[in-house]
Amino acid sequence: MAVLNYFTAVRLERAPAVESSFRVSLLIPLRNESARVADLLKNLARFSSPHLEILLLDDESTDDTWEKLQQISGKEIRAIQGKPLPKGWIGKPWACWQLSQAASGDVLLFCDADVSIGSEAIQRTVSLMEKHRADALTALPHQDLPTSFEKAIVPFVMHLPILGLLPLRWISKLKSPAVVVANGQWFAIRRAAYLKVNGHHSVSDSLLEDMELARNLVRQGFGVLPVLATRELSVRMYDSWQAMKEGFTKNLYLLCGGSSLSLLLVFAVSAWIYLVPFISTANEVSGAGKSLLLLLLFRIIVALTFRASPGTVWLHPLGSIGFLWLLMRSWLAHLKNRVVWRGRSIEMAN
């Protein structure tokens, strides 16, 4: 599957960068992003088009994010102060819903504040949506992994399961809620489709709002096209070990299906695939060398596809142990209802 995706996945950088008649709303929620605001605004200042509006919403930040956003000047970039979080909502869906209500575009393009946007990424996104007649498009950016712990662990969540299990080019045609790829870091949706499924309002209490929104789109007959965007988009998800622990603790349980049984199954399969070949080879078990070689080839193909550094491959043993530990940490946090994100304690429904 990894080899198939390497040769056939749709790539954002290969799309023509042509001006579309569609009006695009680039929508970026921010919560406690003071350290990123300057770089974000510098990045956004490069974009100028009569068919583009850029809206940034401060989601009740406890730092000086809003004060920095107020320095924005210009018609094409507008800062919005978010309203208090209503009962029954989780932060990011609420922020995205407010942005969608303020937007005027034919295409709503949701983007995280930590994404570095290439100069032609927006045009190429709309171009691909038109070419493939896609109601929605989600991109998998290049992951900036400057530290060893990021190189070791992030690919186990953002690279390996996606490239190794799913035929990316054909997912949008399958239109099955059980087989979707969605990444809130870059998620473009035609306004008509967004409104049809009631947008982020329909996923108001979801920690994985991007995946649930994609499933809602598919249930209504819309297609979600996943594309590789390793040259047009880049992102550093977590800039510290603490932030990574908090983020993956929030997400992994839900990514594994949201039940103890499904998470433990993922844990067992992951341990078998990622660790057993090393243990078996050390004990000279018959056939273990072939398993280890296949695992190595898989990791190399994934690294090449996502333009990841060689460190993501040779740190595999450490990463697999860290990933398995985070799986258990996520499981226990959700069982005890002790999930925290961006300074907010999140109450999960029983």
* pLDDT tens by residue, 241-289: 998 999 999 889 999 988 999 999 999 999 999 988 887 766 666 666 8
Instruction: Provide the pLDDT for residue 350.
Output: 44
pLDDT > 90? residue 16: no
Reported pTM: 0.91
Q: Which residue has the tokens 């057993």?
A: 276
> 144: which residues sit within 8 A by CB, 6+ positions away?
234, 235, 236
Alpha-carbon gap, residue 150 to 197, rounded angstroms: 35
Instruction: Provide the pLDDT for residue 347.
Output: 62
CB neighbour burial string for 111-144, b if at least 16 within 10 angstroms, e if fewer: bbbbbbbbebbbbbbbbbbbebebbbbbbbbbbb
In this prediction, residue 106 has a pLDDT band, given cuts at 50, 70 and 90, of: very high
23-61 residue pLDDT tens: 999 999 999 999 899 999 889 988 877 789 999 999 999
Q: How large a percentage of the chain has pLDDT more than 90? A: 73
Q: Which domains does the chain have, with CATH numbers?
A: 2-235 (3.90.550.10), 241-346 (no CATH)
In this prediction, residue 291 has a pLDDT band, given cuts at 50, 70 and 90, of: confident
DSSP 40: H
Q: Which residue has the tokens 């043993």?
A: 317
Closest CA to 154 of 104, 146, 120: 146
310-330 residue pLDDT tens: 999 999 999 999 999 999 999
